[in-house]
Amino acid sequence: NGAEEKKGRRRPGEAKGFVEEMRIKAMKLHTRGQAKDGEAQEKETQQKPLPQWKPTVEGYIQFLVDSKAVYDTMEAIVDKAPHQSYAEFRNTGLERTGPLSKDLEHFRSEGYSIPEPTEAGLTYSKLLEELSESNPQAFICHFYNVYFAHSAGGRMIGRKVSEMILEGRELEFYKWDGELSELLDKVKLKINEVSNDWTREEKDKCLQETELSFKYSGSLLKLLAN
């Protein structure tokens, strides 16, 4: 029986803990050009190699505004913790609302106008609010991908785009208090702990959400990639 066989099979990364399963799933959704373990087809602008992007300061500011909308939502949800397990993810040191406010303030002081978030940030925020109530496994998937993507590819993108249009200035968005790898390791342990209580079906529900997470974060990156 095929279904039972599938059920019994060990998942890639399972022996190392659930976060490793999430990481493997996420890496596959990158294109080859984005990361060496990537398997996805390059279909959209933001999936093109970075040197082909045509970023502008205005587009970057819009990306930061929409990202801030998403981080504001994420961090408010964790504070409110509609499911008790989210309380584990308060004050991880990965929070981005504060640094993004400083960056936007800096651009404002240089004379740029700071726009409202677009549909991309607003739609993603709304989805996160809904999932945080109705589907905690899916919400944790978004939580993992939003914070870990930013610490990996997001940081690299920030550095390259800054070289292209901001004379290499490093934004607060890409600075953390303390050693980033230690902050990430602590959060990995917590996700592993929280997911320990999940059934295999619930874990799979979490993994399945990775595609949507890429879709919504990708729509934010489009603001920057043009």
User: Which residues contact ligand HEM by CB under 6 A?
Assistant: 23, 26, 30, 34-35, 46, 145, 148-149, 152-153, 156-157, 213-214, 217-218, 221
| Nearest-angstrom CA–CA distance, 61 and 135 | 32
Backbone angles phi, psi at 40, to 5 degrees: -80, 155
DSSP state, residue 152? I
Which residue, 11 or 112, is less far from ligand HEM as judged by CB?
11
Which residue, 7 or 66, is less far from ligand HEM as judged by CB?
66
Which residue, 128 or 221, is less far from ligand HEM as judged by CB?
221
Pick from 31, 60, 214: nearest CA to 124: 214
Q: Which residues pair with 40 in a beta bridge?
A: 31
- Work out the angle between the directed axes of helices 119-134 and 136-149 (0-180°, nearest 10): 140
- To which residue do tokens 């990775």 refer? 210
- And the tokens for 108? 């404002």
CB of 19 to ligand HEM, least distance (A): 8
Which residue, 49 or 82, is less far from ligand HEM as judged by CB?
49
CB of 37 to ligand HEM, least distance (A): 6
**Which amino acid type is present at position 96?**
R
- To which residue do tokens 């002081």 refer? 109
Which residue, 23 or 96, is less far from ligand HEM as judged by CB?
23
CB of 64 to ligand HEM, least distance (A): 16
CB of 52 to ligand HEM, least distance (A): 11
CB of 116 to ligand HEM, least distance (A): 23
CB of 120 to ligand HEM, least distance (A): 12
Which residue, 107 or 148, is less far from ligand HEM as judged by CB?
148
| Nearest-angstrom CA–CA distance, 133 and 149 | 23
CB of 12 to ligand HEM, least distance (A): 14
Which residue, 45 or 97, is less far from ligand HEM as judged by CB?
45
User: Any alpha helices (H) in the chain, and if so which ranges?
Assistant: 2-8, 18-28, 57-80, 97-109, 119-134, 136-149, 155-165, 180-195, 200-208, 210-225
Which single residue brings its beta carbon nearest to ligand HEM? 153
Dihedral of CA 64/65/66/71: which sign? Answer: positive
